[in-house]
Structure 1
Amino acid sequence: MEISPLQKKAFIDWFLDHYDLPKREIVWLFDYLLKRDELLNNLHFVFEAHLCPRSMIISVQEGEERPFRFYKEHVVTNEVEKAFHDIRMNHGEPLYVEMNFEGVRNSKEYISVLEDNPFLPDDYYLEDSDYKEIDLLLNYVANEQYILELKSKIDQALDEGDLKSFNFYSSLLNNQQAEDQNRR
């Protein structure tokens, strides 16, 4: 879903009305963005903006030591003026913005402009325990598929009157089911 410049302006206005920014230069930067639809078209609100090639993170959370960070490739600065200069000089490039404030994950205002981060790896939020659960699930599915395949071959052997194949596949099925019982 494409987020219009009007929607982005409405969110930025809401944000500026509800939060005091620790640096006045950030307000100036937002004012600059608000007046330029071309920049707003290339502005994308995301989570985990630090993974994007060109991004800024603005935080108004209590105790935040770095309320502003600008990332370009692998360079990070907390100087708003450098970010402003880069944005002004490279207005056609995408800029990914992450806003950190109390309740951001439940904010309907932020969600209304939030886009998927195209630079976020598929497994970014997975932990070791998740991988173990995935392995268990895949093993279970593979085992169930193997059992269905054996049952199908048993049925085929019965249909064809092939006693040798029936005994062979029945033996494999019994062994598999016995292994499953031992694992539980």
Structure 2
Amino acid sequence: MSLSPGKKRIFIKWYLENFDTDKREMVWLLEYVMKRDYLLNHIHFVFEAHLCPRSIIISNNKKEKRPFRFYKDHVVTTDVDKAFHDIRLNPEETLYVEIVFDGVRQSYEYAEVLEDNPYLPEDYYLQNEDYVLLENIIDDSTRHSKINYLKNKIDQALDLGDIESFNKWSEELNNLRESKK
């Protein structure tokens, strides 16, 4: 989904009016970007911008040791001027921006401009416990399907009067049930 430069401009203006930044250069950079539609067309607001090949993370959290980070390929800098020059010299390159502030996940304003991060792995937010839970769900589902399959085979054997098949499928069903215990 491509957002209009106007929506992005409104968000940046809202952010600058409502949050303080530690470095005045960060304000200048945002104001520079805000005034240029051709740049706004190539900017995407995302979460986890550090995973993107070219990105900026701005934080107004006072505990943050690096309130500004610019990522390009595998290089990271906290120098706002370097980011500014890269943006100015490469206006056609896509830039992913993450702005971190208190309540960002609940912010309607940020949600209005937020886009999916194409570099975010599908399982990025999963914990080890989630993988165990998913594996258990898959195992239970597979087991349940196998039980239904065996019950159908037993029913078919009964319908056909095939005692040998009935015994075979019944034994397999009993073994499957026992293995769960």
User: What range is the shorter-chain TM-score in?
Assistant: over 0.9
2:89 corresponds to: 89
Partner amino acid, structure 1, of 2:13: D
Partner amino acid, structure 2, of 1:94: T
Q: Which whole-Å CA distance do the structure 2 matches of 1:77 and 1:176 have between them?
A: 58
Partner amino acid, structure 2, of 1:11: F
2:120 corresponds to: 120
1:131 corresponds to: 131
**How far did 1:154 drift?**
1.2
Matched, 1:177 2:181: no
Q: Which whole-Å CA distance do the structure 1 matches of 2:179 and 2:26 have between them?
A: 64
Deviations 1:30-54, CA, capped at 9 Å, x for gaps = 1111111111111011111000000
Q: Which whole-Å CA distance do the structure 2 matches of 1:161 and 1:6 have between them?
A: 75
Q: Which whole-Å CA distance do the structure 1 matches of 2:42 and 2:2 have between them?
A: 11
1:26 corresponds to: 26
1:161 corresponds to: 161
Partner amino acid, structure 1, of 2:106: N
1:16 corresponds to: 16
Residue aligned with 2:113, SS: coil
Partner amino acid, structure 2, of 1:65: K
Q: Which whole-Å CA distance do the structure 2 matches of 1:40 and 1:49 have between them?
A: 16
Deviations 1:94-121, CA, capped at 9 Å, x for gaps = 1000111011111110111111111011
TM-score (normalised: structure 1): 0.94
TM-score (normalised: structure 2): 0.96
Identity of aligned residues (%): 57
**How far did 1:176 drift?**
1.6
Partner amino acid, structure 1, of 2:32: Y
Partner amino acid, structure 2, of 1:59: S
Deviations 1:127-158, CA, capped at 9 Å, x for gaps = 11111111111111110011011111112222
Structure 1: state its 5+ residue gaps. Answer: none
Q: Which whole-Å CA distance do the structure 1 matches of 2:16 and 2:51 have between them?
A: 25
Partner amino acid, structure 2, of 1:158: L
2:105 corresponds to: 105
Residue aligned with 1:71, SS: strand
**How far did 1:76 drift?**
0.5
Structure 2: state its 5+ residue gaps. Answer: none
How many pairs are equivalent?
181
Q: Which whole-Å CA distance do the structure 2 matches of 1:160 and 1:6 have between them?
A: 72
